[in-house]
Amino acid sequence: MNQNDRELDEIVRIARAAAAVVMDVYATPFTVEMKGPGDPVTRADRDANTLICGALEAAFPGEAILAEESVPAAEELAARFQRERVFFVDPLDGTREFADRNGEFAVMIGLSVRGRAALGVVVMPTTGEALAGRVGGDDGGGGFAFLEAKDGSRRPLRVSSVSSTADASLIVSRSHRPKELEPLLARLGITRVVPCGSVGVKIARIATAEVDLYLHGGGGAKLWDSCAPEAVLRGAGGRFTDLSGAPIDYAGPGLKLARGIIASNGALQDAVVAAARSELG
């Protein structure tokens, strides 16, 4: 585990500061507004967004930032996608769970380099845990991930070794389990299904080896939902692709994850991708 990654340490610090803001709101009565159908927002989202963007601008001057609560106009969005390094910020992943007060939400900051996830931090405000990871090179070397507990102690993260889909546990959305994935689950023989909110929390549970696999059909998720979790998971030895097995492209032109997600402990990835190609086309 790399103990001297100053860039990653700074992003952990920023994400933890935002998590404190989120918990300040969580401890009080708050209102939930709707940005659109099925798209809630609260003061915690906006306040954390402001803190993170300001802190990133101060710590990494001139870097491009794409954050959920401050998306630029089309021309500026396109310009930011052209940058070599882009920070993707989800200040409160799992706003619905935040509003339901079930604890399944996260603060997420990811960094893409030349269109690929490179670094990520996912903080769980209710537990005080921070998961952080850096993706290694094409040869698989140099990557790492760790969990930092509330007291600041750290331990390396490593995914499970489950290699049979019939033995795998699948984590799925608590609020909108996609019906189109049911034939795929039947084909894979998956029977152990764990509901959970927040993409970040789901991927964190794969990185900590609590579960083995996550499937997302493609509706609703954006690049800030995946960049940080992808870096953490891959740093912990897992794999993260779209439903066709292709890498997630963080260079735009759009923000939507239209081709879904398959995230796993790595050992399951090829079998799940093959099944997805057969069932979903």
The domain boundary residue, chosen from 156, 189, 207: 156
Band of pLDDT at residue 140, cut at 50, 70 and 90: low
Band of pLDDT at residue 138, cut at 50, 70 and 90: low
Q: Note whether 62 and 91 are same-domain residues.
A: yes
Higher pLDDT, 38 or 18: 18
pLDDT in tens, 20-32: 999 999 999 999 9
Of the given ranges (100-104, 178-182, 233-237), which has the lowest mean pLDDT? 178-182
pLDDT at 3: 57
Q: Would the annotation count 93 as a binding residue?
A: yes
Higher pLDDT, 35 or 54: 54
Q: Note whether 194 and 115 are same-domain residues.
A: no
Angstrom distance (rounded) from CA 106 to CA 93: 5
* Over residues 139-152, mean pLDDT: 87
Inside any domain, residue 128:
yes
Angstrom distance (rounded) from CA 133 to CA 218: 24
Q: Would the annotation count 84 as a binding residue?
A: no
Q: Note whether 72 and 143 are same-domain residues.
A: yes
Q: Which domain holds residue 206?
A: 165-280
Q: Note whether 180 and 203 are same-domain residues.
A: yes
pLDDT at 139: 55
Tokens of 196: 């959970």
Indicate whether 2 pLDDT > 60: no
Band of pLDDT at residue 206, cut at 50, 70 and 90: very high
Name the average pLDDT for the chain: 94
pLDDT at 177: 66
Q: How far is CA 112 from the centre of its chain?
A: 13
Q: Would the annotation count 225 as a binding residue?
A: yes
Q: Would the annotation count 5 as a binding residue?
A: no
Tokens of 211: 């579960």
Question: In this structure, what CATH number is given to the domain that contains residue 20?
Answer: 3.30.540.10
Q: Would the annotation count 68 as a binding residue?
A: yes
Band of pLDDT at residue 36, cut at 50, 70 and 90: confident
Angstrom distance (rounded) from CA 260 to CA 273: 11
Give the count of domains, the chain. 2
The domain boundary residue, chosen from 125, 156, 187: 156
